[in-house]
Amino acid sequence: MTTATVPPPYRSDLKLGNDGFVQLLHAEWTKFRTVRGWVVAAAVAVAVMALISISAATGGKGANCVNGKCQRGPSDPIGPYGVSVTDSFYFVHQTLDGDGSITARISSLTDAIQPDPQGQGGAPPAGASVPWAKAGIIVKQSTTLGSQYAAVMATVGNGVRMQYNYEHDVAGNLGAASSASPAWLRLVRSGTTLTGYDSADGTHWTEIGTADLTGLASTVQVGLFATSPGYNDNQYVFGGLNSDSFNSLATAQFDNLALGGGWSGDAWNGDAIGGADGQYQQTGSGFTVQGGNGDITPDVPDDDTARLALSGAFAGLIALIVIAAMFMTTEYRRGLLRTTLAASPRRGRVLAAKAVVVGAVSFAVGLVAAAVSVPVFNRLWSPDAFYPVGALTEARVVLGTAALLAVVAVFTLALATLMRRSTAVITTVIILVIMPYFLATTSVLTPGPSDWLLRLTPAAGFAIQQTIPRFAQLTNVYTPTDGFYPLAPWSGFAVLCAYTAVALGAALLVLRRRDA
């Protein structure tokens, strides 16, 4: 009799499978890359984005280009930071050698808006004024256009300011200058450092700020100046901006002029710098200086390579939104989600893995499109055609645009988890992200509502593409149509990220609570 032996229970000799996050990522990546339509759609996204970006440059978009030839004209002086500036004012000056100071009192500053010489635009509207019409004292390297300077000035609508080297603007302590409340201004030069002061009475002085003008020559031109930008009568109508421009002339009364240090003692010279209008009169110890049709500010051009070379991002975005939505909704429609959750029961991890895969794919789409369009763009246009933004800004725009695509894709994925129906998801995301961008940048809406749309909706993220700095002291049309977003680049991007975080949180909650 033989004893019955119980066979040992079956044990697979395969090793126990890992169910870490890496395996989950691998699984989700496999799901993505094996659906041919999605891979094709991602390639389409790259192609559309690059093509639209490149075609944005066709047809002479270069700000400094005439008939395809691009160069900065002689009328565009280059400032101390290597970008073009506006340098145009009436200058009553003397030579100062070495250290010294200049003090003056402004007892009145007015601006007069001139009727349109051609008579086409009619008269300027009643009550119009130019807040940045200005007059004051200035220390300038030379009368060469674009040279370094520091100035303390009274303005018509912005009080006393200290401005230097075109880009810097510091608020002073006094309001508008008038005979009842005159403004005393002082500028002290010590080496290359200039310090500005203002005072209401000529005895108690308050420092406004200091400017370090690196490389300032020993001999400089110092004196009084006046200038005024033009007045633009802007009206927003459906589909665009109607703008009538009027010249403006600032008139300032100076007295109590006091000079200290190594002054030449020559007579005063009056010069219209950079094509400005103006004149001056000396009456006893006082001066009347008039200047207009100019300004001393940075020159903000229309466009720059970094923004244009990625302006097709919204087009690639639509394809990515469709992919990201289907990446989740097909799981529901085909019942694949049950298999997915059986294999990996931790639902938060599944959502995270999907978000990483779809985000990484979108980021890659953005980078590849930029890798195509930026070099092509730089080959099509000479460096002089556009505003130079610098390598750091360019890197921010390229990486930021890729990140914009990635975050919108993750946002779509989260909404798809919540809503489960692809048409509803895609329409919602397009209405939240593409529509506001469309309404705001194609002049459908007036600037007020446009700005609010780009502050409050996820489309605020497009601000990451802003490259041209905006300057408070420069009168310009700062609308989304012209590439100016109401929020700073990273704050706009943060708005989009906040929406995405909320959507992801809600998606996680719902995915955990709901039966698959």
Partner 1 sequence: MSEALHAEWTKLRTLPGTVWILLGILALTVGLGAVVTATVRYGGPGTSTDLTRLSLTGIELSQAMVAVFAVQAVGGEYSSGMIRVTLTAMPRRWTVLGAKAIVTGGLTLAVGAAGVAGALLAGRILLLANGFTAAHGFSALTPADGPTLRAAIGSALYLALVALLSLGIAAALREPAVAIGAVLGLLYLFPLVVGMVQNQSWHRHLEQIGPMTAGLEIQATVNTGGLPISPWAGLGVLALWAVGSLGCGGLALVLRDA
What residues line the site for partner 1 (CB under 8 A)? 37, 52, 55-56, 58-61, 122, 125, 235-238, 242, 311, 314-315, 318-319, 321-322, 325-326, 329, 333, 422-424, 426-427, 430-431, 434-435, 438-439, 441-442, 444-446, 448-449
Q: Which is nearer to partner 1, 444 or 488 (CB)?
A: 444
Q: Which is nearer to partner 1, 128 or 170 (CB)?
A: 128
Q: Closest by alpha carbon to 313, among 199, 419, 400?
A: 400
- Say how far apart CA 183 and CA 170 lie, in whole Å: 16
**H/E stretch holding 441:** helix 435-441
Q: Closest by alpha carbon to 409, among 392, 389, 387, 426?
A: 426
Q: Which is nearer to partner 1, 181 or 423 (CB)?
A: 423
Q: Which is nearer to partner 1, 153 or 320 (CB)?
A: 320
Minimum Å distance from CB 238 to partner 1?
A: 5
Minimum Å distance from CB 381 to partner 1?
A: 13
Minimum Å distance from CB 442 to partner 1?
A: 5
Residue 384 CA: distances (Å) to CA of 147, 200, 293, 326, 469: 20, 46, 26, 44, 18
Q: Which is nearer to partner 1, 96 or 434 (CB)?
A: 434
Minimum Å distance from CB 154 to partner 1?
A: 29
Q: Write the DSSP assignment of 356-410 as a string of letters.
A: HHHHHHHHHHHHHHHHHHHHHHHHHS-GGGSB---HHHHHHHHHHHHHHHHHHHH
Minimum Å distance from CB 411 to partner 1?
A: 16
Q: Which is nearer to partner 1, 16 or 237 (CB)?
A: 237
Q: Which is nearer to partner 1, 121 or 388 (CB)?
A: 121
Angle between helical axes of 422-429 and 391-419 (0-180°, round to 10): 150
Sequence-separated (6 or more) residues with CB below 8 Å from residue 297: 85, 86, 166, 229, 471, 473, 474
Minimum Å distance from CB 34 to partner 1?
A: 17
Minimum Å distance from CB 70 to partner 1?
A: 14
Minimum Å distance from CB 96 to partner 1?
A: 47
- Say how far apart CA 241 and CA 477 lie, in whole Å: 9
Q: What is the largest CA-CA distance in the chain?
A: 140
Q: Which is nearer to partner 1, 124 or 294 (CB)?
A: 124
Minimum Å distance from CB 321 to partner 1?
A: 7
Q: Which is nearer to partner 1, 20 or 125 (CB)?
A: 125
Q: Which is nearer to partner 1, 147 or 450 (CB)?
A: 450
Residue 202 main-chain phi, psi, to 5 deg = 85, 0
Q: Which is nearer to partner 1, 399 or 435 (CB)?
A: 435
> Which long-range contacts does 390-398 make (Cβ < 8 Å, 24+ apart)?
393/306, 393/467, 394/305, 394/306, 396/464, 396/489, 397/306, 397/307, 397/310, 397/464, 397/465, 397/467, 398/306, 398/310, 398/366, 398/367, 398/370, 398/374
CA atoms within 13 A on the CB side of 421: 4
Minimum Å distance from CB 449 to partner 1?
A: 5
> Which long-range contacts does 238-244 make (Cβ < 8 Å, 24+ apart)?
238/443, 238/444, 239/443, 239/444, 240/443, 240/481, 241/443, 241/477, 241/479, 241/481, 243/477, 244/116, 244/121, 244/122, 244/124
Tokens 């975005």 locate to 317
Minimum Å distance from CB 35 to partner 1?
A: 12
